[in-house]
Amino acid sequence: MGTTATQPSLWDRSRQAVVASIFDTAMRLFAEQGYEATTIAQIAKEAGISQRSLFRYFGTKEDIVCGEQEELGELMRATVEAQPAAATPWEALRAGFEVLMEAHGDPGQLLEITALIFDTPPLRARYTQKRLRWQEMVLPAVTARMADGKGAGPGLELRAAAVTATVFACVDAATEAWVRSGGSADLAALYDEALAAIRG
């Protein structure tokens, strides 16, 4: 029988298993000996694959931790676009981030990944690069929503860019506070507090 849209193929399941194995192996090694001290060769050996095979799944060591960001950015863009016409840009962007938090699934794993990113300069740089890409991806949807809300006119693109950048800055501030709390704080509540400080 053929596969359906809701049933991943055998190849997809095999690929997901290999990706998960590489990720789990890498995170264990990072925890044991540090990110900088861990090499691609070590990760591949511990995962039981060749370096060449590893590079089929991840282009760099940074991508093992941050590689999903492009897919998550697409998810956020689609979510923002799908919000009801009556939703403000602020509400649409918040909905986008809520979906991303749900997509991560395990809060413990998300905390581990985020803490590693924030504590490791090369990962932080890659994370920042990808987050800037997210802003580019969602900006057209925010601009269109502001225009539909009778915000069209001179300066529309600037205002949309400012709203988008503000939301991302609030998310980053909230995420850092969440990591500092050891994951005990409510991330969504921290975001709302950060945004209220800006808008208030």
pLDDT digits (tens, 9 = 90+) for 76-132: 999 999 999 899 999 999 999 999 888 876 788 889 989 999 999 999 998 888 889
Contact 22, 47 (CB under 8 A): yes
pLDDT of residue 108: 86
Q: Which two tokens stand for residue 131?
A: 């987050």
Give the count of beta carbons closer than 10 Å to the beta carbon of residue 100: 18
CA 103 and chain centroid, separation: 9
Q: How confident is residue 4, by pLDDT bands cut at 50, 70 and 90?
A: very low
Lowest mean pLDDT among 20-29, 90-99, 102-111, 177-186: 102-111
Contact 64, 43 (CB under 8 A): yes
pLDDT in tens, 52-62: 999 999 988 99
pLDDT of residue 1: 40
pLDDT of residue 3: 43
pLDDT of residue 46: 94
- Average pLDDT score over residue span 23-34: 93
Lowest mean pLDDT among 2-6, 39-43, 76-80, 97-101: 2-6
The greatest distance separating any two alpha carbons of the chain, rounded to the nearest whole angstrom, comes to 58
pLDDT of residue 28: 94
pLDDT in tens, 132-174: 999 999 999 999 999 876 666 678 999 999 999 999 999 999 9
Residue whose C-alpha is closest to residue 118's, from 74, 70, 173: 173
pLDDT of residue 154: 75
